[in-house]
Amino acid sequence: MSGSPWPRRAGIVLLLAAALLYWLTLDNGLRPGELEGGDLITHQYAQVQARPGNAPGYPIFTMGGWLWFHGLRTAANGLGVSPNPIPLLSSYSTLWALLSLWLLYQVLLHITRSPARPTGDWPLAWLLTAFYAVTYFFWYYATTSEQYSSAIAHTLAILLVYLRWRDQSPIPSLLLLLSFLSGLALAHMVTVALIVPPLLAAVLWQEPKLLRRPGLMAGAILCAALPLISYVYVYLRGAAHPEWWGVGEWTSAGQWFWSFVSTSQGQEEMSWGLAPGAAFFANGFPELIWQELSVPVVVLGLAGIGVLEKRLRLVLAGTLLLYAVFCWVDRFGNWFQVILPAYPLLLLGVAGLVHRYDGRVIRTGKAARASEEIDFSVRPRRQYDIRNTALALLVLLILWRGLASLPAADSRDRPDDTALERPTQLLAQSPPPGAVLFAAKDDALGLAYLIDIWEMRPDLRVVDKRGANEALAQGGEVLVTADAAGLLLGELTVASPQVHGWSGAWVELLPQAAPLVREPAVRLDKALGDGIMLQGYSVREDDGLTVELFWTVDASATPGDWSISVRSGDGAAQQDATGPVFGLRPFSSFAPGETIVDAYGLGAAGSVDDLWLILYRATDGGFENLAEERLAVP
């Protein structure tokens, strides 16, 4: 890029503008369904824990993501900031997206060089790249935790190196670099390798004598195979964490590793249905291309590929053809892997077409007849410069596509990003140090995410029913959410545990023989009627106020099943239950001498001086109160 400084300056401005746009729309939350699985959540865990992603593991992408995330988090912590990790994780995709835009800009400059523009047609390259930057899928995947933007950068890097090799009296070092980048697809995203067959054909078309240079060919093969070394990382990480293997019959790390990298675990997602006719379009490809780029851009792009230099034409057309075959064969595969790189290939065709007709004009209207009188009914002939007209239309396309993409591509502060709200509230209710947690599916996924990714309470761990049984059998403590407590109690294989309330949403399970270490802060030993005794109570501040009531029942009494209401003195907050511990331990179930801790949460109750405790039950005429007790807040 010697000569005019404008191409470089324009490129820098383009990247800064794109970076600002993506930062303003960067993903910073999660929807409930996203925690259940999929690429987004898989890659986030991979970046944080340095664990292999989807099969075959994407080792290059994952290792880079681990360095990126932990580097940013360490830097932020060093400044005394505890950032939301989701934007940090998402920004790794932004990094690859910005690299993709820079590479596309460089390729466009390369193919639009001419004696009049030795550094390339930078206004045309700038506008085409800006248009691609605001296409919906590219924009969305530039601001969320996905690997697609890295595949685009990889594809464009291969193209750029190929063009430089083609135009610089083919030199071995560039050929070896091209081989390495091509082989890198084996350790990055395998579908990038679809560009390799037409690329190899173009290289041998230009330099057929390469086949007579065995040393250089051996070096190229070695460079292509070199990235496979990264799979040592996949094996070592997987062998160290068999809990990551999932469901399977593997008895060794070697068996798991082979099953993983051969993607046999994911073959049920593939379908080899070569559907003819209209069924070809059933999976969304290629119709989404012209929906996003517009029909004129797609038509001009395909036509433009036809006017490019013959070997480059082979590379682009051959790659697009293989993309289409891939989507046709693997009708339920990730066609995003190839639809996104297809966009810039078509834009290269648009650039080639505009460059081909640079300097030419389109004439409209009719020429006036030679006459002594002027004929005002004849519109004079006008001339439209093709290149300048294309630039003006591209500005309009950028405005159209940007405004159309924004509502769906904006991932910041989405109102449906609610997946972590309840898990955050659950952790705010002060689970005891070292406790294991059990919750229903959505809560469990959110809690595990906050513990593992956010590091909110790294001393805690989320378990399934088997883990809860093991913890209790080993004398440990289990906290279970109130809505999942009944399910877990019905599935336990250990002796019936003690059941106490911990907070307004948590139930505490203790082994039967474990001592109850909690004591009331205020001792009452007050009989409330029907044999029910309130030993005392405690009040602590968690997510609002948590009130702990300590109950016993007179040994000679057979109390009824009374409901309980705990309210702030001003009546602004309350929580009711059909009996102690969310109704799990009704008064009639108490054993002689047994003490049950019962907890109630009053939310953000503000400044509370006193509480009301009411024992009541429903009657045919309304409600009957057994006791009303005022409790002073200590």
384 pLDDT exceeds 70? no
98 pLDDT exceeds 60? yes
Q: Helix, strand or coil for residue 517?
A: coil
Q: How confident is the model at residue 41 (pLDDT cuts 50, 70, 90)?
A: very high
Please give the pLDDT value at position 622.
81
377 pLDDT exceeds 60? no
| Per-residue model confidence as pLDDT tens digits over 239-290 | 999 888 877 778 889 888 888 887 655 454 455 555 555 555 555 666 778 8
Q: What mean pLDDT do residues 479-504 have?
A: 93
Please give the pLDDT value at position 282.
55
Please give the pLDDT value at position 609.
82
| Per-residue model confidence as pLDDT tens digits over 517-532 | 999 999 999 999 999 9
Q: How confident is the model at residue 359 (pLDDT cuts 50, 70, 90)?
A: confident
Please give the pLDDT value at position 376.
46
Please give the pLDDT value at position 313.
96
Architecture of domain 522-632: Sandwich (2.60)
Rounded-to-integer distance, Cα 600 and Cα 542, Å: 11
> What distances in angstroms separate CA 498 from CA 471, 554, 594, one per listed residue?
14, 19, 10
Tokens 């689970």 -> residue:
431
Please give the pLDDT value at position 1.
44
Measured over the CA atoms of residue 48, residue 54, residue 55 and residue 58, the dihedral's sign is: negative
Q: Of the segments 34-48, 348-362, 408-422, which one has the largest average pLDDT value?
A: 408-422
157 pLDDT exceeds 90? yes
Please give the pLDDT value at position 349.
97
Exposed, middle or buried, 274 (CB in 10 Å: 0-12/13-18/19+)? exposed
In this predicted model, which residue has the larger pLDDT, 245 or 539?
539
| Per-residue model confidence as pLDDT tens digits over 587-634 | 999 998 899 999 999 876 567 788 999 999 988 878 899 999 999 988
Q: What is the mean pLDDT of the chain?
A: 89
Please give the pLDDT value at position 261.
83
| pTM for this entry | 0.88
Q: Which residues pair with 568 in a beta bridge?
A: 611
Q: Which residues pair with 615 in a beta bridge?
A: 564, 627
Please give the pLDDT value at position 246.
76
| Per-residue model confidence as pLDDT tens digits over 399-415 | 999 999 999 999 999 99
422 pLDDT exceeds 90? yes
| Per-residue model confidence as pLDDT tens digits over 107-145 | 999 999 988 889 999 999 999 999 999 999 999 999 999
Please give the pLDDT value at position 606.
63
Q: What mean pLDDT do residues 563-587 have?
A: 92
Q: What are the backbone angles phi and psi of residue 266, rounded to the nearest 5°?
A: -110, 10
Contacts 24+ apart (CB under 8 A), 293-298: 293/135, 293/343, 293/346, 293/347, 294/397, 294/400, 297/346, 297/347, 297/350, 297/397, 298/346
Please give the pLDDT value at position 604.
67
457 pLDDT exceeds 90? yes
Task: Report the share of the chain in percent with pLDDT over 70.
Answer: 90
Rounded-to-integer distance, Cα 160 and Cα 104, Å: 8
Where in the chain is CATH 2.60.40? Answer: 522-632
